[in-house]
Amino acid sequence: MLGKSTCLAFLMICLHPLLLCSAASGPSQLGAGSALSVEEHARPFLVSPDATFSCGFLEAGENAFSFSVWYTGAADKTAVWTANPGAPVNGRGSRITFRRDGGLALADANGTAVWESKTSGEGLAVSLLDSGNLVISDPSGTAVWQSFDWPTDTLVPSQPLTKETTLVAGYFSLYYDNDNVLRLRYDGPDTSSIYWPSPDYNVFGNGRTSYNSSRIGVLDDDGVFLSSDNLAARASDLGPSVKRRLTIEQDGNVRIHSLNATTGGWTVTWAAMAQPCSVHGACGQNAICEYQPGLRCSCLPGYEMVDRKDWRRGCRPMFSVTNCSQGQAPPEGRFKFVKVAQTDFYGYDLGYNSSVTFEHCEKLCLEMCSCSAFSYRLTGTGVCYPKGTLFNGYTSPNFPGSIYIKLPIDFDASAQPVAAHSSQGLACNPDGPEIIQGSPDTFRRPRNNVKWSYLFAFATVLGVVDVIFIATSWWFLSSKQSIPSSLEAGYRMVTGQFRRFTYRELKDATGNFKEEIGRGGSGVVYRGVLDGGKVVAVKKLTNVAGGDEEFWAEVTVIGRINHINLVRIWGFCSQGKHKLLVYEYVENESLDRHLFDMNRTALPWRERYRIALGTARGLAYLHHECLEWVIHCDVKPENILLTREFDAKIADFGLAKLSKRDGVGDSFQLSHMRGTTGYMAPEWARNVPVDAKVDVYSYGIALLEIVIGSRISDQTTAGGERLEMSQIAQALRQVVDTGDVVPLVDGRLQGQLNPRQALEMVRISLSCMQERSNDRPTMDDIAKVLTACDDEDEHPAYRS
Ligand SMILES: *[C@@H]1O[C@H](CO)[C@@H](O)[C@H](O)[C@H]1NC(C)=O
Ligand SMILES: *[C@@H]1O[C@H](CO)[C@@H](O)[C@H](O)[C@H]1NC(C)=O
Ligand SMILES: *[C@@H]1O[C@H](CO)[C@@H](O)[C@H](O)[C@H]1NC(C)=O
Ligand SMILES: *[C@@H]1O[C@H](CO)[C@@H](O)[C@H](O)[C@H]1NC(C)=O
Ligand SMILES: *[C@@H]1O[C@H](CO)[C@@H](O)[C@H](O)[C@H]1NC(C)=O
C-alpha cells in the first residue's frame, strides 16, 4: 500500500509546472523515426534541458492545432515560434514526425504536409535548446536548420531579427527596410503604409540612423532590445533572470512582455507606440481613430461600418458614390461639406496648396470628382489638402485642422452625431457637427485663428512624399541641395537640430555663463548665442542621476518631443559632471511675471484664454501623445513661458525622468519630490506612486490663477487668515452653481472678459482639484473642452 506522503509528494511534483513529471516531461533531443500525434497534445514533443521551453502541439482554435515552441512557465502557453502560423492542423489524425531521412514534417489528418523543415542527411537529431531555439543538427553538432531563422511574430532573448527575417501579425510587419531602418508597416487589402518610426520625422528626427548596414536587432537577457539603426528599447523591469519576449501583436503594436514566474502571467514592459491611433489601418477606411484613453473607432458622418465585428474593414458610404472613371466633373451645387474638427487623414492627398482661402479649397474639392473630403487649416495662410481615399483617420485635441467631408446635399448627416461626446461632466459645446452648405453665399470661414504647430503644418507635406523620403534618404542626406524647394522648410524643421554640444561651445555661447535668466529646482538657466547667431537658453542641471549613456538615452527622448506649446530642446551636453540642456529662447518671460506683477498692465482676457488652452494642449501632448508618456511634475506659472504673441510654451518637461529615481518598475516613483508648494497634488504627501493626474491638479491651480490674477496660496479671508484649499473649492462650487463668475475674475480687467469662458475655466479648475486623482479629468478632456469654448467672438466684452 502506498504511503500518504508518497501520494502528496507525487501531487506536488505534478502541480509545479517547471518540475518534470509524466504529464509535462519530454526529451530534449530526438533521433530519426520519432513522432508525436496530435491526440497526445498534452505531452510535449521536446522540452529544453533546463525546462525553460517546451515544444509540441498547441490548441489554435476549435479542433485546430499548431506545432509551436512556448515558455514552459507561461500559463497561457503563448507561442514564441510556430511552424504553421495561420494554417492549423486537424485535432484528429495530424502528426509531427522526425523522419528517417532527417526531415521534420507536420502532416494534417489527410496526410498532406502542412510544414517541412526540408532537411535530410544521415544521423540528424532534433533538439530544443534552453534559448528556445529548435535545432536540427548533424552528428558533428552543426545546425542544418533552426527555428531562430524562421521567426513568426516573436523574438526571444538572443534570437536576432536580421535583414532576412520579418515578424508578422495579420496585416502588420516588423522588418529592416532597404535603408537599414527597423520599421512597422501596415499592408492591408487596399493600402499599405509605414507608421513606425513616426512618418512625420525623418530617420534622424526619430533618433535612428541609416548608416549601419548590419541590420540586426537582438533582445538581450537584461531586457534591452538593441537594433543596429540606433533603437534601444528598454523593458521597464530591466535586469537578468526575467523571461521575456518581443512580439508584434494583432493590433499592430510591438511590445516586450515579461513573464511573472509566480503566476505564469505576462506583463507588458515596453511598447513601440504609446498612442494606438498611430498604427495605420487600426480603424479601416472612412473611419476615425480616437484615444481617450482606450482606442475608439467611429465612422465619418454619412458612412456606416462594413462589418459590425471588424473595424479593420472600415466604413462605407450610405449614399451613392459618383462613378469617377467616366471622366466628368460632377455638377456643382449637389454637395455639401460636414466638418469634423481636429481630425486628419494620413496620406492620399490629391493636391496641396498652402495659401488659399477656405472657399477656394472647397471649390477645389467640388471640382475634383474623386475628392471625398478636404483638410483645411489656418497657419497664417490657409493650408488645403483635397483627399481621395480617407484612410488612417485620427482625431486629437492637439491636431491643428479640420476635415470637411463631401456629402450629397440632400443627405441628412445631422441625425448621426460624430465624436460629440463629453466626459467627466465637462462640456462646453455639445452641438453636433457643424454643417456647411455647398452653395457659395452660405460658406462660412472657420473662426479658429490659433497659430498651429509648424510640425503639423509640415506633417502632411511629408506624408505626400513619405515614399520618396524612405527610398532616397541616403541620397537626401548626402545632397541637401537636391531637396525640392517646396519641401525645404519642412525638411529643415523636422530634421531638427537636436545635437550634442561640447562644454566649451556652451561656455563660449553664454560668455562663461554670464547672463542668468532663470533659476529653478533643476538648475540655473543662462542666455546664450550660438555660432549661427541663434539665441538659446542654456540650463545647467544639478542633481542628475545615472551615467553618460543613461543621460543620453533620456535626453534623446526629450529631444524628440515637439509641440508648439512645449519649449523646443535643441541639444545637450554631457561631459563628466557637466550636464546641460540647450533650449529655444522664449522672449516674453514666464506667466507668473505677467499675472502677479501688479506694476504691469494686466494680461487681456483673450491672451489669458489662449495661454490656458495652449498649456492644456502641451500637457495633453505630453501625457497622451508623446512617444513615451511624460509627466511634468512641476506645472506652475513659472514654467509656462510666453512668446512675443503670448502663446504658451511649457518649460522643464521631461526632467522628472532625469532626476534621481528609486528602483525600477512601471510605477513611477521619485526619490525626492519634484514640484512646488501650492501646486502639488495631495498624493505627493502620501508617498504613493504618482501618475499624470498630479499635473492635472497643478494645472487646475494655475488655471484658476489665470482667472483671478493672483496666487491661490496668497488668498486670505477678510480677517487676513490664509484660505484652505477646501474653502477655496467651496467658493468655486458656489460660483459654478450660481454662474456668477465675474466678481471672481481679476479686477484689473474691468469687466473686459468672456464670462462663458471664465465660468468654464472655473469649472475645469474645480474638477482638477479633486482629492482623489481618479476623479480629475485628463488633460485631453480639458483641452477638448477649452477648444470647444474657443470658438467665440473675436473681441469679447462683458456687459452688465
Ligand atoms: C487535406 O486537408 C486540408 C484541410 O483540411 C485541405 O486543404 C487539403 O486539400 C486536403 N488534401 C488532400 C490531399 O485531401
Ligand atoms: C552597427 O550595429 C552593430 C549591431 O548593433 C554594432 O555592433 C556595430 O558596432 C555598429 N556599427 C557601427 C559602425 O556603428
Ligand atoms: C507576480 O504576480 C504577483 C501576483 O499578481 C505579484 O504580487 C508579483 O509582484 C508579481 N511579480 C512580478 C515580478 O511582477
Ligand atoms: C464606372 O464607369 C466605368 C466606365 O463607364 C465602368 O466600366 C464601371 O463599371 C463603372 N463602375 C461602377 C461602379 O459603376
Ligand atoms: C494655389 O492657389 C493659387 C490661388 O488660387 C493658385 O494661383 C496656385 O496655382 C495654386 N497652387 C497650386 C500648387 O495648386
**DSSP string for residues in 505-563:** HHHHHTTTTT-EEEEETTEEEEEEE-TTS-EEEEEEE-SB-S-HHHHHHHHHHHHT---
CA of 325 to the centre of ligand 4 (A): 6
**pLDDT score at 200:** 72
Three-class SS of 176-215:
ECCCCCEEEEEECCCCEEEEECCCCCCCCCCCCCCCCCCC
CA distances in angstroms from 224 to 196, 210, 664, listed in the order given: 19, 20, 14
Q: Is the CB of 353 under 6 A from ligand 5?
A: yes
The pLDDT-based confidence of 475 (bands split at 50, 70, 90) is: very low
User: Residue 313: pLDDT above 50?
Assistant: yes
**pLDDT score at 545:** 66
**pLDDT score at 220:** 95
Q: Which of 64, 67, 61, 65 is nearest to 46 (CA)?
A: 67
User: Residue 59: pLDDT above 70?
Assistant: yes
User: Residue 292: pLDDT above 70?
Assistant: no
Name beta bridge partners: 59: 65
State the virtual CA torsion across 489, 495, 501, 507 in degrees, nearest 10. 20
Among 237, 344, 634, 652, the active-site one is 634
Pocket test for ligand 4, best of 316, 325, 370 (most atoms within 8 A of CB): 325
CATH label, 154-274, candidates 3.30.565.10, 2.30.30.90, 3.30.70.141, 2.90.10.10: 2.90.10.10
**pLDDT score at 642:** 94
CA distances in angstroms from 90 to 37, 70, 189, listed in the order given: 11, 20, 28
**pLDDT score at 284:** 84
User: Taking a C-beta distance cutoff of 8 angstroms, is the pair 172, 185 a contact?
Assistant: yes
CA distance 582 to 506: 9
The pLDDT-based confidence of 169 (bands split at 50, 70, 90) is: very high
Q: Where are the domains of the chain?
A: 22-149, 154-274, 289-321+328-442, 482-584, 591-790
CA angle 92, 97, 99 (to 5 degrees): 150
Residue 258: phi, psi to the nearest 5?
Answer: -115, 140
Atom of ligand 2 nearest to the CA of 213: 1
CA of 229 to the centre of ligand 2 (A): 8
Highest mean pLDDT of the ranges 27-31, 131-135, 412-416, 733-737: 131-135
Give the neighbor-by-neighbor strand order of the sheet with 381-387.
381-387, 373-379, 402-408, 335-340, 435-436
Q: Is the CB of 214 under 6 A from ligand 2?
A: yes
CA distances in angstroms from 741 to 481, 717, 734, listed in the order given: 57, 18, 9
Angle of helix 605-620 relative to helix 755-768, nearest 10 degrees, comes to 40
Ligand lying closest to the C-alpha of residue 356: 5
Q: Whose CA is nearest to atom 7 of ligand 4?
A: 325
CB-based contacts of 312, cutoff 8 Å, min separation 6: 171, 188, 281, 282, 283, 284
Ligand lying closest to the C-alpha of residue 357: 5
CA distance 475 to 728: 61
Q: Which of 56, 54, 110, 61 is nearest to 86 (CA)?
A: 61
The pLDDT-based confidence of 57 (bands split at 50, 70, 90) is: very high
Angle of helix 725-738 relative to helix 755-768, nearest 10 degrees, comes to 140
**pLDDT score at 658:** 55
**pLDDT score at 151:** 97
User: Taking a C-beta distance cutoff of 8 angstroms, is the pair 89, 108 a contact?
Assistant: yes
CA of 374 to the centre of ligand 4 (A): 24
C-alpha cell at 575: 561631459
Q: Which of 556, 582, 554 is nearest to 568 (CA)?
A: 582
What fold is seen in the domain 289-321+328-442? Answer: Hepatocyte Growth Factor (3.50.4)
Name beta bridge partners: 154: 247
Residue 271: phi, psi to the nearest 5?
Answer: -140, 140
Q: Is the CB of 108 under 6 A from ligand 1?
A: yes
User: Residue 9: pLDDT above 60?
Assistant: no
CA distances in angstroms from 119 to 144, 489, 575, 616, listed in the order given: 7, 56, 55, 61
Q: Is the CB of 162 under 6 A from ligand 2?
A: no
Atom of ligand 5 nearest to the CA of 356: 2
Atom of ligand 2 nearest to the CA of 218: 5
The pLDDT-based confidence of 497 (bands split at 50, 70, 90) is: low
Pocket test for ligand 5, best of 356, 384, 486 (most atoms within 8 A of CB): 356
Q: How many CB atoms lie within 10 A of CB 26?
A: 19
Asked whether the CA dihedral 350, 354, 355, 358 is positive or negative, the reply is positive
Q: Whose CA is nearest to atom 4 of ligand 3?
A: 263
The strand pair at 125-128 and 29-31 is best described as: antiparallel
Looking at domain 22-149, its CATH superfamily turns out to be Bulb-type lectin domain (2.90.10.10)
Q: Whose CA is nearest to atom 6 of ligand 2?
A: 228
* Grid-cell match 476623479, residue found: 775
Q: Is the CB of 325 under 6 A from ligand 4?
A: yes
The pLDDT-based confidence of 150 (bands split at 50, 70, 90) is: very high
* Least confident segment among 61-75, 85-99, 614-628: 614-628
Asked whether the CA dihedral 232, 150, 97, 113 is positive or negative, the reply is positive
The pLDDT-based confidence of 350 (bands split at 50, 70, 90) is: confident
**pLDDT score at 413:** 65
Q: Is the CB of 742 under 6 A from ligand 2?
A: no
Looking at domain 591-790, its CATH superfamily turns out to be Transferase(Phosphotransferase) domain 1 (1.10.510.10)
**pLDDT score at 499:** 79
CA distance 186 to 171: 6
Q: Radius of gyration of the chain from Cα atoms?
A: 30
CA of 214 to the centre of ligand 2 (A): 7
Q: Is 51 left (phi over 0), alpha (psi -120 to 50) or beta?
A: left
Name beta bridge partners: 402: 376
Highest mean pLDDT of the ranges 435-444, 592-601, 694-703, 742-751: 694-703
**pLDDT score at 460:** 28
User: Residue 547: pLDDT above 50?
Assistant: yes
**pLDDT score at 757:** 93
Residue with more model confidence, 487 or 160: 160
Q: Known catalytic residue: 666? A: no
Looking at the structure, give the CATH architecture of the domain made up of residues 482-584. 2-Layer Sandwich (3.30)
CA of 213 to the centre of ligand 2 (A): 8
Task: Compute the mean pLDDT over every residue in the chain, rounded to the nearest whole number.
Answer: 78
* Least confident segment among 99-103, 185-189, 244-248, 547-551: 547-551
- The distance in angstroms from the start CA to the end CA of the chain is 99
Q: Is the CB of 212 under 6 A from ligand 2?
A: yes
Q: Is the CB of 112 under 6 A from ligand 1?
A: yes
Q: How many CB atoms lie within 10 A of CB 795?
A: 10
The binding-site residues of ligand 3, defined as CB within 6 angstroms of any ligand atom, are 260, 262-263, 267
Q: Which of 173, 168, 179 is nearest to 206 (CA)?
A: 179
User: Taking a C-beta distance cutoff of 8 angstroms, is the pair 429, 458 a contact?
Assistant: no
Q: Which of 190, 174, 256 is nearest to 221 (CA)?
A: 256
Question: What are the DSSP calls for 124-161, one per residue?
Answer: -EEEE-TTS-EEEE-TTS-EEEEGGGS--SEE-TTPPB
User: Residue 779: pLDDT above 80?
Assistant: yes
**pLDDT score at 214:** 94
State the virtual CA torsion across 677, 680, 685, 689 in degrees, nearest 10. -140
Angle of helix 693-708 relative to helix 755-768, nearest 10 degrees, comes to 140
CA of 249 to the centre of ligand 1 (A): 29
CA distance 525 to 509: 13
**pLDDT score at 89:** 92
**pLDDT score at 349:** 81
CA of 344 to the centre of ligand 5 (A): 22
* Least confident segment among 232-241, 441-450, 634-643: 441-450
Ligand lying closest to the C-alpha of residue 359: 5
User: Taking a C-beta distance cutoff of 8 angstroms, is the pair 607, 638 a contact?
Assistant: no
**pLDDT score at 191:** 76
540 annotated ligand binder? yes
Q: Is the CB of 192 under 6 A from ligand 2?
A: no
* SS3 state at 166: coil
**pLDDT score at 501:** 86
Q: Which of 166, 116, 119, 173 is nearest to 143 (CA)?
A: 119
Ligand lying closest to the C-alpha of residue 73: 3
Tell me what the mean pLDDT of segment 688-712 comes to: 91
CA distance 298 to 286: 9
**pLDDT score at 329:** 57
User: Taking a C-beta distance cutoff of 8 angstroms, is the pair 257, 223 a contact?
Assistant: no
Same CATH fold, 591-790 and 289-321+328-442?
Answer: no
**pLDDT score at 341:** 86
**pLDDT score at 50:** 93
CA distance 225 to 187: 25
**pLDDT score at 330:** 58
* Least confident segment among 408-412, 495-499, 761-765: 495-499
**pLDDT score at 257:** 95
Highest mean pLDDT of the ranges 138-142, 191-195, 276-280, 317-321: 138-142
- pLDDT above 70 as % of the chain: 79
